[in-house]
Amino acid sequence: MSKIIDIVTELARPVVEGFGCELWDVEYASEGGQWYLRIYIDKDEGISINDCENVSRALDPILDEKDPVPTNYIFEVSSAGLTRQLKLPAHFQKFLGETVEVKLYKPLDGTKLYKGILSAYEKGTVTLNCGDNTINFTKEQIAGVHISLL
Q: Which residues contact 124 (CB under 8 A, 6 or more apart)?
A: 138, 139
Alpha carbon 33 to chain centroid distance?
Answer: 22
Residue 5 amino acid letter: I
Give the pLDDT mean for 23-40. Answer: 96
**Topology classification of domain 89-147:** SH3 type barrels. (2.30.30)
* Helical spans, DSSP H, in 19-130: 49-66, 89-94
pLDDT score of 150: 75
pLDDT score of 78: 97
pLDDT for 2 beyond 90: no
**Helix 49-66 and helix 2-18: axis angle, to 10°?**
130
What is the chain's length? 150
Per residue in 58-74, pLDDT tens? 999 999 999 999 899 99
What is the domain partition of the chain in residue ranges? 2-79, 89-147
Per residue in 104-127, pLDDT tens? 999 999 999 999 999 999 999 999
The CATH number of 2-79 is 3.30.300.70
pLDDT for 1 beyond 70: no
The residues with which 4 forms a beta bridge, in sequence order, are none
